Amino acid sequence: MTRTIIHADMDAFYASVEVLDDPSLRGRPVIVGGRPGDRGVVSAASYEARAFGVHSAMPLRTAARRCPDGVFLPVRPERYREISESVMAIFATYTPLVEPISLDEAFLDVSGSAAAFGDGATIGRRIKGRVLEELGLVVSVGVAGNKLVAKVASDLRKPDALVVVEPGDEAAFLAPLPIRRLWGVGPQAQAALGEYGVTTIGQLASLSPATLHRRFGRHGDEIAARARGEDTAPVQPFHAPKSIGHEHTFDVDTADMGKLEATLLDVAESVASRLRRHDLAAGAVQLKLRYEGFETLTRQAPLPRQTRESEPIYATGLALLQRTLVDGRAVRLVGLTAIGLTHAQQLTLFDAPARGDRLAQSIDRLRERFGDGAITRARLLTERPIRRFDFGERPNVPGRG
């Protein structure tokens, strides 16, 4: 059976959700990531903002200089996750083989869906129509015989793309495109290939495989196959995360140990909450510390046991911080990453769930219902503004009934 793979990619997802929830933003340059003076980076930019040269991962201050009239908004991860779940549910009605890559994109193997829903192009059109009608959002779709070509296709004519590559046309479709569009060909590889006069995927495909192998080793064999449009990677419905992390960039570099400890506690709470959401437990933790001047250090240590509770994650992270921190040096960023992950069921195969774990899950449910500020540690009250809600009334969240 000929494979039919769809790559579906939401257009400017975070910014589009913000416009969905506040229609007055339509047509305006929307920049998601924080305030224009913050020291973070852009998480997403609407196409109107991109016209000013604003793009994701750009420092917010640079974005503010390029687009002074932009609408700068904070990131709302819970809202984006809520919409993402609705999008993925639509995808799953056409095939059980859905591989989410992030909140806003996924691969679908619809090879066995033709009898029920039509060919790949028809399914792609149906998906686009349903996402627009049911959620008010636009998705770009690429249809091809493998993941590589489907991904390139969906990105080629954004926004609102539907690009279909027929079986056998993969190499011809890729040939005129610049080599930067090919997986595994980053800036260094582009520079190296430029020494051979290679700027397009077709030129890369014409280059001697032996030459590529001598220059890049096994990686050369891989990019040669990709240049010919070859990719046998299957669509895998679920990937368990290998790590879960969270970090915080300070508005002003700080050497205040009290502030660093409180921030680390807040970060540990976020990491633990995400572990519980994925039903995972961590065996070790990694500290990330960035000083003024962007010097970045990482240190890791095992946890006393597999856990998804914030206290041991914080305690281990704090010990790493105390060993790593240089007195008097101001810190720009601090972060924690949980590693050595296992399924949380292994924690309770023979014992009832710990009281602390049950309490943490109850807190998670409260925050999910009333917002992150509904309940927090007293120690963090002086470190960040806390939103308070009347627990007898659900907060008014835009876009919800």
Q: What gap in Å lies between CA 123 and CA 167, rounded to an integer?
A: 16
Tracing tokens 């810190």 back to the chain, one arrives at 331
Residues 6+ apart with CB under 8 A from 331: 250, 253, 254, 255, 260, 289, 290, 291, 292, 325
Q: Give the span between the Cα atoms of 181 and 228, in whole angstroms.
A: 13
- What SS3 state is found at 333? strand
Q: Which of 18, 48, 105, 309 is catalytic?
A: 105
**Rounded distance between C-alpha atoms, residue 304 and residue 138, angstroms:** 47
The burial of 239, by beta-carbon neighbours within 10 Å (0-12 exposed, 13-18 middle, 19 or more buried), is given as exposed
d(CA 315, CA 228): 51
* Conformation bin of residue 178: beta by default, left when phi > 0, alpha when psi is -120 to 50: beta
Catalytic status, residue 261:
no
Contact 395, 373 (CB under 8 A): no
Catalytic residues: 105
